[in-house]
Amino acid sequence: MKILFTFITILFLSSVLYAQVPGRPGGTTRPPLLTREVSGIVKDSTDEAVIGATVKLKTATDSAVTTTNADGIFIFKNVRSATFVITITNIGYRPMVKRMLNNDAIPRLVLDPFVLNTDSRVLDAVTVQAPSITYKTDTVEYRASDYKVRPNATVDEVLKKMEGMEVGSDGSVTHQGQSVTKVKLNGKVYSGGNVAQAIQNLPADIVDKIQVVDDYGDAAARTGIKDGDPEKVLNITTRADRSVGNIIRANAGVGNDKRYEGRLFLQRLNGNQQVGVIGDLRNTVNGVASTGSNGGSAGGPGGPGGGQGGNSSSSGSGGTTRTGGPTISYSDQWGKKIQVTGSYGFNFSNVNSLNNSNGQQFFNTLTQNRGDSTIFFVANSQAQNNRKTHRFEFKMDYQIDSANFLQITPTVNIANADNLSQSSRFETGLRHQDRLGLNNSFNRSPSFGGLVFYQHLFKKPRRNLSFQVNYNTAKVEQDNEQNNNIIYYADASDRVLKDSVVHRYIERDNLTRNIRTSFTYVEPLTTTSQVEFNAQVNYRGYDNTAFTSNILNNGQRVNIDSLSNVYNYSFTESRIALNYRVNQTKYNLSLGVTAVPTNLSGTRVSQGNVTSDRSYFNLIPIARFQYVWSRQQRFSVNYTGNPQEPTFNQIQPVRDVSNPQNPVVGNPDLKPAFRHTILTQYNNYIANSKLNLSANVNTSIVANQIVTNNVRIPDAYGAFKNETRFVNLNGNYSVNGNYNIQKQLADRKYNLSLNGSVGYAKNISMLNNVTNDRVVWRLNERLGPRMNPNETIELNPYVVYDITRTFFASNPASNTDIRTTAIAIDGKLYLLKNRTLEFGYNGSKNFVSGIPNYLSRNPLVINAYIENQFFARRSLTVRFQVFDILKQNNFVNQVTTDNSVTNTLTNALSRYFMFSVRANLQKWTGSPSRGGRALRRRGDGSFIEP
C-alpha cells in the first residue's frame, strides 16, 4: 500500500511540474537544449574585421573566454544557457558589454555583428602602428599614408613606391608579375575600368588604401564559388575626409612638329556617389614614352622587351598617333536598396605607323645548308589606321530584401575602323621574290550584351542559391580590297621570271552569339565548412560568311566560288561541379570534381551542306588551398582547367587567300584544346623589419593544343607558297616564376628592391608535316633601389639583366641568344626650400649582344623637365619638357614564332620639346553622413547606407 501511495504521489508531482512548461502550438512542448553553439563576428567602424579581440561569455552558472580569428569570428561550444552576457575588449577600442536573451530551443546561435568604436583615450596614450601591407583572401592591401609623395601627386606616383608594383609610362600596372586589367574606386568600376586614366588623374592625397584583388566576378564574391581564372583588379579606397568633395584638373601642352596634348578631369565624390568626366586629346610620336598628365618623371625605365628593349618607350614602330575622346563615369546609391554604376566612353585614334623589319623564315628540318631551307627577308610598311569606338556599361544592384538580391548589367560596344596600308617584302634564299602590296579595309564591329544575376539567402546562415544568365552578341563586318604585285626571280639572280598581279575584294561577316546560364547552391555543414554545387551551360555560336572576288581591269568584280565560304559552327561547354570547402582560422581548403562535357558541331553551307558533330568529356579536379600564418603571411595553390574551341580560321575548310603567298586553310576535324593551370603563390610582409617577400609559380599544360602546320606547296608559276594548316598536338607546356624582395630603411627614405622572373616554355608545331619543337628560356633580373634621403632629392637608379634564348629543333642554325644589360636612372630635385621648383630627369643605356651589329645601336636615351608650381595650394604648374635629348631612341624588338625570327627596328623622330600648363583645384567638405551620423564603410571602401 505504501508503494502504491508513493507511486501515485510521484506521478501527481510530475504532472504538476510538466504543466509549468509553456505549451507549444498544437498543445506540444519542446524541452530546453542541454548545450548549444554560439558564434559571432567583431568589426570596427570601417567594417573591417577586428582580429585577436578578447570575447568573454558569462552565464549564471559558468563562463568562457576566446579570441577572434583572422576574419573577426569567435565561436563558443557547449554553452548551457541561451541567456548570457558578452564582453568584448581589444586595445584601441572601447569595451563592449551586451546581455543576450535568445530562444532556448535553438541549437546554433549566430549573433548580430558587434561593432567596436575606437577609444580616443587609449589612442592618445599609445600609438599602434599597423602593418603597411596586409594579405587577405584574394586581396593584397597597402596603406597609402606610409608611402610619401610630393604635393599634388597622382595615384601612379604612390603605386611606384609600393612593394611588388611596377608602373609603365603608359599607365599600365603590373603587380607581382601579373598585369592589372581593371580599376575600381571604393568598390565601383571607375572610368570604364581604364587603369591608366584612373591612376594618372586621381590625386594621391585622397587615397586611404590600395587593394589588388584576384577578382572572380560579382557572382563569386557573393556566393563564394570561384570558377575559372581571376582578373587582377586595382581598387582605390578614399580617405574618410576625402570622400565628399570636388576635383578639377586641366592640362594643356604644345610642342614642336605639331605635337600637342590636352586633358580635362572633373570628379565629384559624395560617399557612394561618384560622377567623373575625363577628356583627352593628344598628338604624339610612336615609340616615345607617353608624357601623361601626372607631373611625374618624363617616362621611366622598364624591363627589356623581346630583344633589345630596355626602355618602356620602345613600341616597335615609328610614325605619329592622334587620339582623344571623353569618358563619363557615374555611380550612386538610389535609395536604400539600389546601387548603380555606369560609364560611357568615346575614343578615336588616327595612327600613322612606319615599320622596318628583317628576319628569316625556315621550312625544312635539320638541313646543313641554310640557303636551302631558309627565307631571308626585309620588310617595310606604312599604314594609316583610323578607329572610332563607343563603349557603354551599366550595372544595377537591387537588394530586394535581406534574403533576395538582383543584379542587371547591360553593355554596348560599337567600333569602326578604316585602314590603308602599303607594304613591301623582299625575299632571298629558299625563295627569291619581291612582294608589293596596297590594302584598304573597313571594319564595323557592334556588340551587345547583358547579365542577370539573382541570389536567395536562406534563414540558415551561409545557405544560398543563385542563378545567372549572360547573353552577348557581336557582329564583325569587314570589307578588304587587296592589290598585290609579286615578282618572281630565277634563283639568286635578278632575272625576272614572272610579274604577277593579284587584285581581289574580300567580304567577311562574322556573327558570334554567347549564352551562358549558371546555377549554384551552397549548403553549410558546420560553422567552418560547406558543400558547393554548380551547374552551368556555355553556348557559343558562330555564323561566318566570306566571299572573295577578282577585280578586273575595268573595275568589275567576279566572284570566285572556290574561295568563298559560308560556314556555321557552335561550341557548347557544360560544367557540373561538386566541391567541399573548409574555412578555418589558419587555412582554407576546397576539394571537388568538375565534369566538363563539350560538343563541337559545324555546317558548311557553301559547296554543298556538310555537317560534323563531335562530343568530348573531361573530368577535372577542383583544388584550392591557402594557408595563413597571419594577415601578413600566406601561401596558396590553385588549379583551374578550361577548354578552348577553335577559331573560324582554324576550323573552316576553305582557303583564305588574304595573303596570296601565305594561304590559310582550316581543319574541320579539330578538337577543342584543354588547358590545365596551377598557380602557386607565397607572400610575407615582416612589418617590424619593413621587409616584403613575394613569389609565384605558374605552370600551364595544354592537351590537344591547336598548332600550325606550315607546308610548302607549289604555285602556278613554278615557285612555292607557304600554306598554313592546323592540327591538334600534345606536348605544349610552360613554367613561369616571379619573385620580389623589397626592404624599407630609415623610415622609408630608402627602398631596396630586387625582383626577377624565370620562364621556360615548350611549343609544339609542324613544318612540312614534321613535328617541330621550339623551346624558349627567359631570365630577367632587376635591381632598383629608390632613395629619398631628404625632402629635396629623389634618386632611383635601375639595373636590368635579361637573357632570352630560343632553340629550334627543326633548324638549330636559327637559334637565338639575346642578352641585354640596361642601366637607367630617374629622379627629381627640388630647387627651392618650399619645393615649388622641380627638376626631373630620366636616362637609360642599353648594352645588347646576340643581335647583328648593323642592327644593334645600344642607345642612350635621356629625357628631362623643369616645372614650377604657383600659389599657396600649388594649384598652377608650368612645365617645360625635352624628350630624347641625344636623339638615340632606336630600338630593336625581336619576335620568334614556330618557324621564324623577326627583328623590328624602331627609328622614331623622337627628340622634341613640350611646353605645358596644368591647373589643379580641389575642395573637400568632410566625411559623408546621413542624419548627422557618419556612414560606416565596407572593406572595399563603399559606404553602408542607413
- Check pLDDT > 60 for residue 709: yes
- Check pLDDT > 80 for residue 449: yes
Q: What is the DSSP letter of 116?
A: E
- Check pLDDT > 60 for residue 918: yes
- Check pLDDT > 70 for residue 31: no
120 — pLDDT class (breaks 50, 70, 90): low
Residue 13: per-residue pLDDT:
38
Mean pLDDT for all residues in the chain: 83
Of residues 61 and 74, the one with the higher pLDDT is 74
- Check pLDDT > 50 for residue 912: yes
Q: Which of 28-32, 141-145, 483-487 has the lowest mean pLDDT?
A: 28-32
Can you give the three-state secondary structure of 457-487, one letter per residue? Answer: ECCCCCCEEEEEEEEEEEEEEEEEEEEEEEE
Q: Which amino acid is at 203?
A: P
Of residues 878 and 170, the one with the higher pLDDT is 878
Residue 700: per-residue pLDDT:
95
- Check pLDDT > 80 for residue 861: yes
784 — pLDDT class (breaks 50, 70, 90): confident
Q: CA–CA separation, 430 vs 762, rounded Å? A: 27
Q: CA–CA separation, 85 vs 177, rounded Å? A: 50
Q: Which amino acid is at 832?
A: L
- Give the closest residue to 933 by CA, choosing from 250, 5, 115, 253: 115
Q: Calculate mean pLDDT across residues 254-266.
A: 90
Residue 125: per-residue pLDDT:
40
Residue 299: per-residue pLDDT:
29
- Check pLDDT > 80 for residue 371: no
Residue 29: per-residue pLDDT:
44
* Residue 293, phi-psi category: left (phi > 0), alpha (psi -120 to 50), beta (remainder): alpha
Residue-level length of the chain: 946
Residue 303: per-residue pLDDT:
33
DSSP string, 490-530: STTS--EEEEEEEEEEEEEEEEEEEEEEEEEEEEESSSSEE
Residue 641 CB neighbours (<10 A): 19
- Check pLDDT > 60 for residue 308: no
* Residue 670 CA from chain centroid, whole number: 30
Residue 107: per-residue pLDDT:
77
Q: Which range in 263-272, 384-393, 651-660, 854-863 is most confidently predicted, on average pLDDT?
A: 384-393
Residue 32: per-residue pLDDT:
57
* Residue 739 CA from chain centroid, whole number: 19
Which is it for the CA torsion 876, 927, 133, 582, positive or negative? negative
- Check pLDDT > 50 for residue 90: yes
Residue 372: per-residue pLDDT:
64
- Give the closest residue to 531 by CA, choosing from 575, 498, 490, 580: 580
Residue 10: per-residue pLDDT:
39
Contacts of 663 (CB under 8 A, 6+ apart): 655, 656, 657, 721, 723, 724
Residue 16: per-residue pLDDT:
37
Residue 474: per-residue pLDDT:
93
455-467 tens-digit pLDDT = 999 988 889 999 9
558-608 tens-digit pLDDT = 888 777 888 888 999 999 999 999 988 888 899 999 999 999 888 877 766
Q: Report which secondary-structure segment, H or E, holds 650.
A: helix 648-651
Q: Calculate mean pLDDT across residues 259-263.
A: 91
| % residues pLDDT > 90 (the chain) | 31
* Residue 597 CA from chain centroid, whole number: 28
Cell numbers describing residue 746: 630609415
Residue 288: per-residue pLDDT:
52
Residue 854: per-residue pLDDT:
59
DSSP string, 780-843: EEEE--EEEEETTEEEEEEEEEEEEEEEESS-GGG-EEEEEEEEEEEEEEE-STTS-EEEEEEE
391 — pLDDT class (breaks 50, 70, 90): very high
- Check pLDDT > 70 for residue 56: yes
Residue 402: per-residue pLDDT:
86
528 — pLDDT class (breaks 50, 70, 90): confident
Q: CA–CA separation, 155 vs 928, rounded Å? A: 22
Q: Calculate mean pLDDT across residues 803-824.
A: 87
Q: Calculate mean pLDDT across residues 228-240.
A: 86
Cell numbers describing residue 171: 599607365
- Check pLDDT > 90 for residue 482: no
- Check pLDDT > 90 for residue 470: yes
Three-class SS of residue 898?
coil
Cell numbers describing residue 512: 558570334
| % residues pLDDT > 70 (the chain) | 88
Residue 277: per-residue pLDDT:
93
Pairing of strands 770-783, 750-767: antiparallel
- Check pLDDT > 70 for residue 122: no
CA angle 576, 580, 582 (to 5 degrees): 150
* Residue 523 CA from chain centroid, whole number: 31
Residue 396: per-residue pLDDT:
94
List 166's β-bridge partners, or say none.
Answer: 174
Residue 446: per-residue pLDDT:
93
List 213's β-bridge partners, or say none.
Answer: 139, 233
Cβ atoms of 199 and 155 within 8 Å: the answer is yes
Q: Calculate mean pLDDT across residues 732-745.
A: 91
CA distances from 551 to 335, 505, 661 (A): 62, 7, 18
